Each structure stands twice: as C-alpha cells, then as structure tokens.
Amino acid sequence: QVGIEGGKGAEANAVDGGCDVCGGFVKDQSLRTGYRDGCLSFERWAELSAFCRAVGCSLLFTVNALAGRSRTPCEPAVNCRLTKPAPACCTDYRGGWDGRNAAALLRHAAARRDPVAAVAFGNELGGARAIEARLGADVYAQGIAQLRDIVNDAWPDAETRPLVIAPNIQIDAQDDAAWLAGLVHEAPFLKIVTHHLYPLGPGNFSKVE
C-alpha cells in the first residue's frame, strides 16, 4: 500500500475542490508543525492512482481532521514550533469538523474506482503526545462518525468500501488509557485502531544507533 500523509500533525487540504493549481506550503512558526496551507490537486491524485494501478498497490491516506476548526492565536512571543511543552494556546482547537473537502475527494475517488484501501482521520491529534491539536476523544469520535458516513455514501457496496481507521497517534499505555477508552466508547463502529511507533527516533534525529 501507498500511504499519503502530511507529516507530523500536518493538516493540509486533501483536494483542491476542483482547481488543478494548488498553493504550496508556507512556513509558520505559530503552528507546531512549522508550516500551513498546501493541498493535493486532482491532477496529482490522478497520478498517484495511476501509479498504484500500474504496480498493483492500493492507497491509504489521511484526511484533514482540522478543517473547520480554529484556535485563538497565542501571544506573539510564543513560538509553538519550538516551545516544549507546548502551551495550551498552541493546541486548543475548537469547533466541529468540516468534511466537505474530504467528501469531494472521496466521491471523486469512488466515481473513478480508484484503488483506495483505507482512509485515516487526522494525524496525531489526540492523546498525551498530540502534535498540532489535542482533541478530546468525544470530539474526535464525532469527526470519525462523519467520515464513516461520507465513505459509506461514496461507496454503497460494502465489498468495495475503504476502511475508516484511527486515531493515528503515539500511544502511551498509561497516559492515553482514558483517551482510548473514551474513543472506543464513542466510536464503537471503529474496526481498526492505528498507532505510530518511532523506534529510530523522530525524522530530525541526527544519530541513529
């Protein structure tokens, strides 16, 4: 499978809504990821799908779980990228998920019969080690339910329907037990629980032993 994901907590648009010209990523130290914006164009999506068809792979990708959510900016002196631990103002996102952009991509993929195996909801947005945002299990589960409905609508046939997977976080058995229990309670329909492991350290780790 080919995974498409925006990096540590990155939440770029999944598709550009009909225009084949996307803006690039912009550096922004007020965000924990260090950048914002960017999107995946329909043209680029078609290239990825064609590649998978040619080599016999399938697509697994993450949709923007922060679409529609916002946070109150921190004071100018706060650098969310470098300040550790991150102040609450860096990760306190409010509001519900806006799934219209994701729905446009998924309907497009279903109509083209693209080889989509699974769709993940956001990247490291819950638990003790959340990156860009720290969403409560109940809020996160509401978004997963919306994504499930979008996927079910785009692929009425359960035999060809992609899986919906989550939460795509680093899991600590002690720190995240309550969060995970809340997620399972709020989203009992979730069939696959995913997590991240970094046995060699983060991507910017200069010494691998």
Classify residue 51: in a domain, yes or no. yes
Classify residue 200: in a domain, yes or no. no
Report how many domains make up the chain: 1
* Tens of pLDDT, residues 21-42: 567 778 877 777 777 777 788 8
Classify residue 205: in a domain, yes or no. no
Please tell me the predicted confidence (pLDDT) of residue 209.
60
Classify residue 57: in a domain, yes or no. yes
If you average pLDDT over residues 160-178, what whole number do you get? 87
* Tens of pLDDT, residues 57-115: 999 999 989 999 998 888 888 888 888 888 888 889 999 999 998 999 999 999 999 99
Classify residue 208: in a domain, yes or no. no
Range of the domain at 69: 2-195
Classify residue 115: in a domain, yes or no. yes
What number of CA atoms fall less than 13 Å from residue 139's CA on the CB side? Answer: 19
DSSP string, 67-98: TT-B-PPPPTT--TTT-SSPPHHHH--BS---
